[in-house]
Structure 1
């Protein structure tokens, strides 16, 4: 119990004061297929870095509500929205493509600050250094998960001395070349030295990646070899089984910046213009819980993207929150609403035993959720990020 309390205290300390995620770690290419978005859809997504909220708007959603308990995550999306509306493309690319805007002070003061909500303005008044030149060179090597990325790159450059191997992998034309290079450079051995194995078993390290103890225990108990083997297998799959050429999530993690060929949709010139032309107006931010937002929402929603946060609520006493959240989902969704979520565990259907009230009767989610297992399995295999154990697509049938 002492370890549990210390882990929770550290996790809350790390996450309560920071932007945790400086990019989204869910592949929106999968989500577009699974969601089948139309102009009639009102979407709720946990904000994270806001990349995917913008992606859903570009994919044709009628409105996207980006909801996050961490106000800093919303401030990041609000900065992106202000940049879309008031910057030219080249400046916007420096800011969010390169993760560094040397002229931040003048650009922020004249073109961004006047258009930010008051809370976001106060935050970015203090945190502009995240986008300035410095030792870490990029916004994507700062914040919480970015700090871990910076450590990883330090290890690649100074300890394992395998920058040439990483660059070669990122330049590979196909998976066959990637696999050959992975073996040629003996990366399985170089990547997983004892110090890295030790670090990946520590809650302090995992907190930087946004992995709470409840989620870590779920992996340890459900995955052969536990959390370390889970990470080893996922990283090897990214390098040897999934095309890296357009894998922007891992490119930015390993280099600190995107490339024109490997970047989120919102950073592509044609989509930047679409966002500037009005698509960005279909995205709003809300600092709240999913349950809190739904209970206050004036209109029902038809699509929900819950990321992996239900893993965080998978153990007592947090399970009560999970029940309340699903009650709010049932109360405020349209007929046949669709829900997507990820899990670190190999079976994301652990929520099936949750009981909710429907028309005055207690019913289990197992009786209300109609899973599309075939499509979820097909898409999960193509996931460019590849950090989750399972992917779930379910329609709500009352």
Structure 2
């Protein structure tokens, strides 16, 4: 066990504030989505490829990176990339509790024990490791959350891996049961993952799996499934408006890229959901044995905050001075539903950004038209945000083609003045 200081964590009240509720007139789908996401751990891992982020951001020791926490994996990846400081912000305190648990594991466990929890996704020692080593390092809210949820790592029940927990994991396990038990595709999926070459992988996919996976694509495109995956109604409308064939076609095209064009040998995202586990050679950088000591030494540079992006940037003193912003796809969530909130967030970003700061974000759609009406104050005058940003569409498109997740319609890179 190590004696490294804990990462900074914003104190959380005994009953943290609820997530922003749906506005008046929100349809039933939006209310169902809000009900799920107000009360649950949604993401058990990040589903944004940090290899793209590293290439887009060029992270260095002078950088302060702001990232939305999600599963916490990528915040740790940016530390390994050499960021001078990483602030992980999420309005859902359960997502921050997951990152706190990972950070505690890096500090207090051997790599073997740490990998058993977060690599294999299950450990017969989970309760003991939590009680004896991890719990004392957590904030009060995270302690209460994991006191009731550490069983997720025990490897019991039909969801016998942590990567089948949370709402996204529930969906993954359901789809895998459908494909393996009812479609009989288990042996083919296992052979696909073990394919020694991309050519062999492509042959297995195109000859045995492609057409039969279409049924899973249709299931995954249903509103209930998309709610579990963390895709709100606003994003579904973006896809329907901009992507020919809608959500089902987006999922199907993504499967063609993931299994037919990109090598699965290092695609830990899909391996975890297909098998419930990573392997030592196919896993996020934060789980690799060769990075473990370096990550432990970097943890004091991690700051975890339960807040909105706007709240953190506008209420933190002194001003955060952020040089790299990783906004994931959350602007899709706001989109046309909360234009004032979107404008307020971008104003906070402009005010807190270091000169020349870079912003990356993803979208379920092909464009981000909801940014067009946004106006911000900069250098003493009001300007259109889209006039202020210097975009890099060619670089973004090249990186997007290499995305191992391939569940987004587009990837965006922009610089502030």
Q: TM-score scaled to structure 1, two decimals?
A: 0.95
**What's 2:334 paired with?**
313
- Please point out which of 302, 305, 314 is paired with 1:283: 302
User: After superposition, where does 1:190-209 map in structure 2 within 5 Å?
Assistant: 190-193=212-215, 196=216, 199-209=219-229
Contact kept, 8 Å, 2:38 with 2:92, in 1: the verdict is yes
Deviation at 1:108, TM superposition (A): 1.0
**Secondary structure class of the residue paired with 1:394:** strand
**Any residues of structure 2 matched to 1:358-397 within 5 Å, and which?**
358-397=378-417
Aligned-partner Cα distance in 2 for 1:349–1:279: 38
Aligned partner of 1:61 in structure 2 is: 83
- In 1, the alpha carbon distance for the partners of 2:197 and 2:88 equals 35
Q: Within 1, Cα distance between the matches of 2:140 and 2:221?
A: 40
Partner of 1:232: 252
Could you tell me how far 1:18 is from its partner in structure 2? 1.1
Q: Who is 1:159 aligned against? A: 182
1:348 and 1:391 in contact (8 A); partners too: no
Instruction: Report the counterpart of residue 296 of structure 1 in structure 2.
Output: 315
2:38 pairs with one of 3, 16, 19: 16
Cα distance in 1 for partners of 2:314, 2:24 equals 35
SS at match of 2:277: coil
Q: CA RMSD in A?
A: 1.6
Tell me which of 45, 48, 72 is aligned to 1:26: 48
Q: Does residue 56 of structure 2 align to residue 37 of structure 1? A: no
- Equivalent in the alignment of 2:139: 117
1:76 is matched with which residue: 91, 94, 98?
A: 98
Secondary structure in structure 2 of the residue aligned to 1:315 = helix
**Size of the alignment, in residue pairs?**
392
> Which residue of 67, 87, 90 maps to 2:112?
90
CA distance in 1, matches of 2:212, 2:58: 42
1:324 aligns with 2:344: yes
**Unaligned stretches of 5+ residues in structure 1:** none
Whether contact under 8 Å (1:160, 1:191) holds in the other structure is: no
Q: CA deviation at 1:205?
A: 1.3
CA contact (8 A) 2:322 2:352 kept: yes
Residue in 1 that maps onto 2:288: 268
2:127–2:151: 8 Å Cα contact kept in structure 1? Answer: no
Contact 1:342–1:348 (8 Å) recurs in 2: no
Matched, 1:146 2:169: yes
Q: Indicate the residue corresponding to 1:189 in structure 2.
A: 211
Please say if residues 305 and 339 of structure 1, whose CA atoms lie closer than 8 Å, have aligned partners that are also in contact.
yes
Distance of 2:247 and 2:199 partners within structure 1: 28
Residues 171 and 229 in structure 2, CA contact (< 8 A), matched pair in contact too: yes
Secondary structure of the residue aligned to 2:65 is strand
Distance 1:4 1:230, change over 3 A: farther
Deviation at 1:201, TM superposition (A): 4.2
- Deviation per CA, 1:321-340: give whole Å up to 9, x if none: 11000000011111000000
Provide the rounded CA distance (Å) in 2 between the counterparts of 1:198 and 1:106: 42
SS of corresponding position for 1:24: coil
CA separation of 1:197 and 1:48: change in aligned 2, threshold 3 A: closer
Q: Please state if 1:344 is matched with 2:364.
A: yes
Once residues 213 and 366 of structure 1 are traced to their aligned partners in structure 2, the CA distance between those partners, rounded to angstroms, is: 25
1:253 is matched with: 273
Name 1:222's counterpart in structure 2.
Answer: 242
Whether contact under 8 Å (2:217, 2:251) holds in the other structure is no
Q: Structure 1 residue 174: deviation in Å? A: 2.8
- Residue 115 of structure 1: CA displacement? 1.3
**Cα deviation, residue 141, structure 1:** 0.6
Q: Find the aligned partners of 2:60 and 2:315 in 1 and give their Cα distance.
A: 24
Structure 1 residue 172 displacement after superposition:
1.5
Scaled by the length of structure 2, what TM-score is found?
0.91
User: Separation in 2 of the partners of 1:234 and 1:3?
Assistant: 33
User: Which stretch of the first structure deviates more once superposed, 201-210 or 241-250?
Assistant: 201-210
Runs (4+) of structure 1 moved beyond 4 Å?
A: 1-4
